[in-house]
Amino acid sequence: MSALRLINETSASSVTTMSVTDVFTSDFDIYKITLYSESALEQETHIRLINSSGSIITATNYNYAQLFLRSYSAFSEVRSAGDSILRLITGSEDNYGGNAVVWVFNPTNTSSYTFILSQMSRGYDLNNTNAFNYNSNKNIGVLKDTTAITGFHILNNTSVTANYEARTYGLRVDNG
Amino acid sequence: MAYGYLGQNAPNQTVSNSGVFDISDVASLEKQGKFGGSLELIEEQTVSGVSAVDFTSIKENKYDVHKIEWNDLIIGTAIGNYLQLRFSNNGGTSYIASGYQVAMQYGGSNASFGELKSTSTNSITYLSYSADTTSNANQNGYLYLYNLGNSSKYSFLTNQSFSQSTSTIAFFYFGGGVLPTAETHNAVQLLLSNGATISGTFKIYGLKQL
């Protein structure tokens, strides 16, 4: 039996945001999220974390660093040492869709910040010519806050309607 | 249902516990995704000296996300070979050999880092690399495949690998690729860019969903 445990499936259609609540608990230290995002209009799909009081954390305590890879052009770096989001987890345009696997570390541990590691693969329309353009990224991020985190919130940078699907898994640890 | 206890005086609890689960408990909890592992092995192949590794029963209708792992991949000819992946839309009778896009980053322990990209290639290539045939110069890695069974979505990939590519250089590769054609892909093939034979172990999993 694998150590991965499906905890939650959440999806929403034609929304700008989607919250997944009460999925991080003391049962697991490490979580894996698969995320799909699809929209007709261009958008970057971001994540904010939700604390144990149910509040979406919007303070500028998110740090991230990622390499942005393009099939059609040079790669570039994306980073911030004080943003209100974990930026560009995935994204979409022209309904090409975007996918990501996101690992979340120590969300409920109040002695530790919450860290993420993610990788995405998506399509968008670079020049608005209805032509497909591909990009990917590899990303690390942290919320510099020791508040217990119990969920996450999906949003996008242009507040366009999108379809989102998220599955959350816990990584089980058994005593040897 | 009171999971985990047998007998007529079982307490009415729904949280997990260390008691005994009967067959009805297991069936019910599996349907809810709350019993058993969620990385479900579909097929494992250990091969030696083959030209390609094909997975032709990938349960694309059951899983939105697949994972493939390769372990101790050894190439058969001492020339540079990238690991590549191709999709099939006919169950593996043939594999699509054009129209892919890729974007990969690599870095070497004793070599420069760099970008590898294409908007038109014959596979999702640059998954990992080796030019060495010795038994300890192996390649290991994993990749995720997205939406293979959905005929209205493109099939995407992300990957991460590392290899002892020559006697002096270890390489990592990460990035992704896509076949931007909205159709069902129901088989995948792994092969090498310069036609070297493949030895190693390959596993394909599905990530559980309800």
User: Which residues of A fall within a CB distance of 8 Å from B205?
Assistant: 2
CA dihedral A78, A39, B96, B55 (to 10 degrees): 80
> Looking at the 3D structure of chain A, how many domains does it have?
1
User: Which residues of A fall within a CB distance of 8 Å from B117?
Assistant: 69-73, 75
Q: Which residue has the higher pLDDT, B6 or B35?
A: B35
Residue A176 domain-assigned (yes or no)? no
Query: Residue B100 — very low, low, confident or very high, per pLDDT cuts 50/70/90?
Result: very high
Domain limits at A96? Answer: 4-171
As a whole number of angstroms, the distance between CA B113 and CA B105 comes to 8
Percent of chain B with pLDDT over 90: 73
Distance from the Cα of A36 to chain B's closest Cα (Å) equals 9
For A40-51, what is the mean pLDDT? 98
pLDDT of residue B82: 96
pLDDT of residue A107: 98
Domains assigned to chain B: 1-36 (no CATH), 39-207 (2.60.120)
CATH of the domain at A135: 2.60.120
Of A47, A100, A38, A3, residue with least CA distance to B208:
A3
pLDDT of residue B22: 76
Residue A166 domain-assigned (yes or no)? yes
pLDDT of residue A29: 96
Q: Which residue has the higher pLDDT, B5 or B80?
A: B80
Q: What is the DSSP string of B60-77?
A: TTT-SEEEEEEEEEEESS
User: Which residues of A fall within a CB distance of 8 Å from B40?
Assistant: 2
B150, closest residue in chain A (CA to CA): A97
pLDDT of residue B4: 53
Beta carbons of A100 and A120 less than 8 angstroms apart: yes
pLDDT score of A150 more than 80: yes
Contact of A174 with chain B, judged by CB distance below 8 Å, is answered with no
Both structure tokens of A6: 């499906």
Residue A81 domain-assigned (yes or no)? yes
Of B35-44, B46-55, B175-184, the least confident: B35-44
Q: What is the DSSP string of A117-139?
A: EEEEEEEE-TTSSS--EEEEEEE
For A89-106, what is the mean pLDDT? 98
pLDDT of residue B136: 79
ipTM > 0.90 for the complex: yes
Contact of B176 with chain A, judged by CB distance below 8 Å, is answered with yes
pLDDT tens for each residue of A109-132: 999 999 999 999 999 999 999 999
As a whole number of angstroms, the distance between CA A51 and CA B110 comes to 44
Query: Residue B37 — very low, low, confident or very high, per pLDDT cuts 50/70/90?
Result: confident
As a whole number of angstroms, the distance between CA B199 and CA B50 comes to 7
pLDDT tens for each residue of B13-32: 445 555 667 777 777 776 66
The owner of tokens 């698969």 is A34
Q: Which residue has the higher pLDDT, B122 or B210?
A: B122
Mutate to test the interface with B, among A134, A140, A172, A173 (most CBs of B within 10 A): A134
Q: Exposed e or buried b for every residue in A128-145, given b needs 16+ CB within 10 A? A: eeeebbbbbbbbebbbeb
Question: What are the C-alpha distances in Å from A103 to residues A32, A107, B31, B99, B154?
Answer: 5, 11, 25, 31, 24
Residue A134 domain-assigned (yes or no)? yes
For A49-71, what is the mean pLDDT? 98
pLDDT of residue A129: 95
Question: What are the C-alpha distances in Å from B207 to residues B69, B104, B141, B146?
Answer: 13, 24, 17, 10
Q: Is B20 buried (19+), middle (13-18) or exposed (0-12) by CB count in 10 A?
A: exposed
